[in-house]
Structure 1
Amino acid sequence: MIEVIEYLNLGEWAVMVLSIVVLWRWVVKSLVEKWFQNKLDLQKQEVVSTLQIQKDIAIRNAEFQKVKLERVLPLLEDINSVISEHKLMNNSYVSWIANKAGIPEDFERKRVSLDGRLLKSLYSAEIYLPIQFRALIRQIRKIVSCSWKDPLPIYYLLFEKGAFICVMDVCNDSNDLYSDLLNCFYDMCNKYLGISKCEESYSEILNRHRFSNDINPIDPNPAQSFLWKFILVHEYVNGDERLEAIRGIERAYKVSEE
């Protein structure tokens, strides 16, 4: 038996195995256990840190939602009240253009009053609003700030350049860019206040309503271009832009007459 052990060198193998067992039991195993424990502790810390970050974000979101409801919502309601009233006035104004009527004496005074209310609410609300939402309200405010022009010269200009059908097209609801702006405003309010689950960005809402990020109409037809530059924001466009709108009317309605 001893001869077999010596022949196979089992004594050396036994020593080697014993050494490996000792190293594993008192050295390697301890190091491995410490490594796994450290890794587990790090994972726990990461989970705790992630949960804390999520908790902080949730608290901040809840606090900002409270600010929206308590501070911004009343301002948006007042802004909506002002622009809705001005939109009704604009509807009357456009109908007076189509019917060659004049403007009541107190019409401009009412507009000035609405403009003051809108400006006050805008100054208070815009610090809480996203860039595109703020820009949209500012553009609507430009419309409200523009004084009413005498309807008769506008009627005769349209009639001269494009005949009566041109007058009707400019005054038609289908070309009402003001309504498009209001619908865009309502969609942004819903997104901002969380009333609807809107996946669109504010820029995408603008584009869906066919407005650019600087709140100008995207590819307007000649009637819309005239409405925008001569009626809605006429105090914010230059002579070249108005001339371009007139030429667009001439080209479009000369073709239609032929």
Structure 2
Amino acid sequence: MTNINPAFAAGQETALIDPKQAMGWMHTARFLTTAAQLHQLPPISVPEIAFVGRSNAGKSTAINTLTQQKQLAFASKKPGRTQHINLFSLGKQGVTDAVLADLPGYGYAAVSRSDKERWQRVMLNYLMQRESLSAVVLLCDPRLGLTELDEALLDAIRPRVAAGLKFLIVLTKADKLTRAEQAKILSITKLNAGGGEVRLFSALKKQGVSDVAQLLWHWCHPDGLQPAAPAAEAVDTAADADKA
């Protein structure tokens, strides 16, 4: 069973920590497990944050930039071909206090229709049924804006958002826009976000990186404290069982 901090579920607000602390926390990310189906994922008793987005939205680059690790999230040379959910543990001194879930990119035309439909079912089931899912980070290319597939995903999670699920839209590749263009797309996306957070982000210029790291840390530690050790032990035990 999931054991999500009540304060987290209720969305209580506290002051954000120092950016260096948040970035240091993100840097602790380490591979936990991978799965092709929802039932293959281990039960998690700490907040789980899913990263989703179209295949060309820069999701892997964003994860690697946030964690300051060049190859934590695998960026395939053939977008859309990797169809697994990858989990990464977060937490200092070996204590897992959160998990990042990297979901395969969607919308790439080179994948067969049957593979697309299968993955869409897996993703939908994950977003609707994963008990430990606490927040969703949607990566979006600001030059395209929210596409039909992005909006469909937001519609799918809307019931869970109403029940307390957090979500953030990250506008990647912001360095490719002028300041005026950035301001415009930021304003438009906020109007379409339906209560979610929106941030401009550039891996190249490091724009918005520490801001996003602070927000994710805050979402996983709403009371400003580290989770108790048993939660981490549950994750580690699940990982050990998966490797056996």
Q: After TM superposition, is the score higher than 0.5?
A: no
Length-normalised TM-score, structure 1: 0.24
TM-score where L is the length of structure 2: 0.25
More helix by share: 1
Q: Which has the larger radius of gyration?
A: 1
Higher relative contact order (CA 8 A, sep 6+): 2
